[in-house]
Structure 1
């Protein structure tokens, strides 16, 4: 049981890291600091979109843009951080 909780915690951590990369790449592409027509960049960004957009899209249904700023990544980070802390507290309580 303890190993399963550690695995879930690490998967959440990996998801959070890739979410940071997704947000930063999106900003860099939007400000034209990296070229989206590059095949490697485009492949990485499409993979990140397929990983993160299902969850972010569901949150965007309930939380609209705030002055053009998308807050859905912030909400996901807060929720997953809370979940990680909850798992850690439960695991240490075992």
Structure 2
């Protein structure tokens, strides 16, 4: 059972990194640092969008809008940190 919890913790940690990379990618795209018409860049952007949009769109329904600033990735990352701490402090020690 601890192996399953370890896998869940690793997947949550990887998803945090995907969210961070997606946010940085969107900033680079918005400020024209990277070329959006490049096929590789478009593929990476599409993959990041498909990985993050299902979760972020649900959070955006409940988080108030701050104009052009989207804080939904921060809310999701904080939620993931909360889930990781609950697993690490309450569930993991009680599982044999």
Q: For 1:75 and 1:23, locate their aligned partners in 2 and report how far apart those are by CA, in whole Å.
A: 13
Aligned length: 94
Is the 1:18–1:48 Cα contact (8 Å) retained in structure 2?
A: yes
Alignment of structure 1 residues 45-84 onto 2, 5 Å: 45-84=45-84
**Stretches of 4+ aligned residues off by more than 3 angstroms:** none
TM-score scaled by length of structure 1: 0.94
Q: Which runs of 5+ in 2 are unaligned?
A: none
Match of residue 36 from structure 2:
36
Give the unaligned 5+ runs of structure 1.
Answer: none
Q: 1:8 deviation in Å?
A: 0.3
Q: CA deviation at 1:93?
A: 3.9
TM-score (norm 2): 0.92
Could you give the per-residue CA deviations for residues 50-71 of structure 1, whole angstroms, max 9, x where no partner exists?
Answer: 0100110011111132132111
- RMSD of the TM alignment (CA)? 1.0
CA displacement, residues 23-80 of structure 1 (integer Å, 9 cap, x when unaligned): 0000000000111111111101101100100110011111132132111001000000
2:10 & 2:86 partners in 1: Cα distance? Answer: 13
Q: CA separation in 2, counterparts of 1:34 and 1:92?
A: 46
CA distance in 2, matches of 1:35, 1:92: 48
